[in-house]
């Protein structure tokens, strides 16, 4: 079982089912594929968020009732650093008095319940690392955080159609075999690996 290079993927990937409601089992011409549903969706979303910089058309969902968050002093100090990026990704944020912010909208893919943790995570990251870092790196990190919070989680049942959709979208990304953090999104077991396992010549 090993991660595979993207140039070995073809478009004829056929989902067979889910394992542990976390991994998609699929076949292609080379043998068996295992796809980490969370990692794969992270990759799809990350690529989408990075493309936003070019197209600048974020998708938002308005919250029925705006939520207010109280920031720590460090988070409040970081807020100005990333406010533009967050708006870009689909947040609508207003700074109220003191260290309180109001969230009126969140990115379309993000479960609203994840918004609080995601904002805290991003602000903490910025605080810890903001000195001397390139704007590109910051954007990547924010996009990766958002992708992680918005992606399908493990232990989630998927329909065959959803598996099909995820695989099709994954194949269109810049790097279908890795998640934005560089971990494998797809593992392959080749026909030869399997035949060897069964001691077939």
Ramachandran region, residue 151 (left: φ > 0; alpha: ψ -120 to 50; beta: rest): beta
Measure the CA–CA gap between 69 and 91, rounded to whole angstroms.
14
Closest contact distance (angstroms) between CB of 198 and a second copy is 5
Q: Which long-range contacts (CB under 8 A, 24 or more apart) does 11-19 make?
A: 11/171, 13/167, 13/171, 15/160, 15/163, 15/164, 15/167, 18/157, 18/158, 18/163
Return the number of the residue (31 or 112) whose C-beta is nearest a second copy.
Answer: 31
Return the number of the residue (18 or 78) whose C-beta is nearest a second copy.
Answer: 18
Closest contact distance (angstroms) between CB of 23 and a second copy is 6
Closest contact distance (angstroms) between CB of 30 and a second copy is 10
The tokens for 21 are: 């409601």
Measure the CA–CA gap between 124 and 72, rounded to whole angstroms.
9
Closest CA to 61 of 94, 102, 89, 100: 89
Q: 7 Cβ partners below 8 Å, 6+ apart?
A: none
Backbone angles phi, psi at 50, to 5 degrees: -70, -30
Q: 10 Å Cβ neighbour count for 79?
A: 20
Q: Which residues bind a second copy (CB under 8 A)?
A: 1-3, 16-17, 19-20, 23, 25, 27, 31-32, 34, 36, 39, 183-185, 187, 189, 191, 193-194, 197-200
Closest contact distance (angstroms) between CB of 157 and a second copy is 13
Give the H or E element holding residue 138: helix 135-150
Closest contact distance (angstroms) between CB of 178 and a second copy is 10
Return the number of the residue (36 or 141) whose C-beta is nearest a second copy.
Answer: 36
Return the number of the residue (25 or 76) whose C-beta is nearest a second copy.
Answer: 25
Closest contact distance (angstroms) between CB of 154 and a second copy is 8
Return the number of the residue (56 or 200) whose C-beta is nearest a second copy.
Answer: 200
Return the number of the residue (103 or 179) whose C-beta is nearest a second copy.
Answer: 179
């Amino acid at each position: 079982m090993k991660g595979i290079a993207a140039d070995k993927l073809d478009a004829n990937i056929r989902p067979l089912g889910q394992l542990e409601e976390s991994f998609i089992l699929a076949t292609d011409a080379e043998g068996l594929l295992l796809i980490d549903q969370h990692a794969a969706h992270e990759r799809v979303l990350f690529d989408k968020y990075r493309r936003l910089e070019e197209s600048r058309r974020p998708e938002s969902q308005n919250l029925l009732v705006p939520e207010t968050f109280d920031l720590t002093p460090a988070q409040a100090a970081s807020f100005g650093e990333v406010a533009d990026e967050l708006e870009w990704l689909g947040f609508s944020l207003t700074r109220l008095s003191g260290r309180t912010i109001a969230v009126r909208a969140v990115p379309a893919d993000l479960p609203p319940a994840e918004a609080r943790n995601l904002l805290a995570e991003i602000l903490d990251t910025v605080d810890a690392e903001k000195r001397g870092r390139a704007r590109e790196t910051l954007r990547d990190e924010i996009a990766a955080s958002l992708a992680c919070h918005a992606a399908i989680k493990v232990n989630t049942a998927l329909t065959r159609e959803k598996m099909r959709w995820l695989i099709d979208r994954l194949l269109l990304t810049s790097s279908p075999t890795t998640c934005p953090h560089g971990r494998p999104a797809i593992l392959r077991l080749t026909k030869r690996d399997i035949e060897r396992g069964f001691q077939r010549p």
